[in-house]
């Protein structure tokens, strides 16, 4: 009986230690992604952090296009922090689209036997098992989706991983949006600068009696 109690206590400490390490990683990486305004850097950091926090084999981000409103692939990464091409990353589009539409996260311990997904061709053919998918939300608007999976291990994602990823996704969504806005500002500034230079050239030409413009 004492041996069982000691094992129980040891297991509890081990679980708390894992959770503590995850929370530390969450705090550190949250600060890291918010330190950059380069959109590609932020996306890479977000995806690498998701894989690190959850133990996923690979991850995938889609963002809503500002012009069309459609969800578009942006980046996929694996556990070695390598970028994966869109064509080689098979995911359940149904799950991603469902999360993007409803804003409700999806977690499954074994997609092969989960009645919600076992009928999906992508899940069965590509042996997708543990799946975790959460929305990116900014000011009440769904701006994207983060998807993570593991094709080997069952039961990888539970309530703790879901809660952790939802917390991180709230930070990540803001960091991604800030980077997108910054890119937009830089683009606008470049256009304004170009226009100003054109106007300056026109006025300079008027002063000399000749107007010159580019194409």
Surface-to-core class of residue 63, CB atoms within 10 Å of its CB (0-12 exposed, 13-18 middle, 19+ buried): buried
CA distance linking residue 145 with residue 212, whole number of Å: 49
Q: In this predicted model, what pLDDT tens digit does every residue of 143-176 receive, in sequence order?
A: 999 999 887 778 788 888 888 888 888 888 888 8
pLDDT at 49 over 70: yes
- The whole-number pLDDT of residue 145 equals 95
* Low-confidence winner among 58-67, 99-108, 127-136, 188-197 (lowest mean pLDDT): 188-197
Q: What DSSP letter does each residue of 20-54 carry, written as one string?
A: HHHHHHHHHHHHHHTT---HHHHHHHHHHHHHHHH
Greater confidence (21 vs 161) lies with 161
Average pLDDT over residues 24-39: 67
Greater confidence (198 vs 10) lies with 198
Average pLDDT over residues 172-196: 82
Q: In this predicted model, what pLDDT tens digit does every residue of 60-119 receive, in sequence order?
A: 899 998 888 888 999 899 888 888 887 767 777 888 889 999 999 998 877 777 777 766
Portion of the chain with pLDDT greater than 90, in percent: 12
The residue to which tokens 């556990």 are assigned: 79
- The whole-number pLDDT of residue 207 equals 62
- The whole-number pLDDT of residue 208 equals 61
Whole-model pTM over 0.75: no
Provide the mean pLDDT of the chain. Answer: 78
- What residues contact 110, with CB distance under 8 A and at least 6 apart? 129, 130, 154, 155
CA distance linking residue 108 with residue 71, whole number of Å: 22
């Amino acid at each position: 009986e004492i041996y069982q109690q000691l094992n129980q206590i040891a297991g509890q400490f081990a679980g708390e230690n894992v959770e503590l390490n995850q929370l530390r990683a969450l705090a550190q990486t949250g600060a890291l992604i918010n330190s950059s305004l380069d959109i590609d850097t932020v996306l890479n950091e977000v995806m690498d952090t998701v894989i690190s926090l959850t133990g996923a084999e690979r991850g995938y981000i889609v963002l809503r296009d500002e012009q069309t409103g459609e969800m578009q692939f942006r980046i996929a990464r694996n556990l070695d922090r390598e970028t994966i091409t869109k064509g080689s990353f098979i995911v359940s589009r149904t799950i991603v689209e469902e999360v993007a539409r409803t804003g409700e996260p999806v977690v499954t311990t074994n997609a092969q036997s989960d009645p919600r997904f076992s009928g999906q061709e992508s899940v069965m053919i590509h042996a997708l098992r543990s799946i975790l998918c959460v929305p990116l939300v900014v000011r009440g608007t769904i701006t994207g989706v983060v998807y993570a999976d593991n094709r080997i291990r069952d039961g990888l994602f539970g309530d703790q991983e879901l809660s952790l990823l939802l917390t991180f996704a709230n930070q990540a969504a803001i960091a991604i949006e800030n980077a997108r806005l910054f890119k937009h500002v830089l683009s606008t500034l470049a256009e304004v600068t170009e226009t100003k230079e054109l106007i300056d050239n026109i006025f300079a030409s008027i002063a000399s009696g000749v107007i010159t413009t580019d194409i």
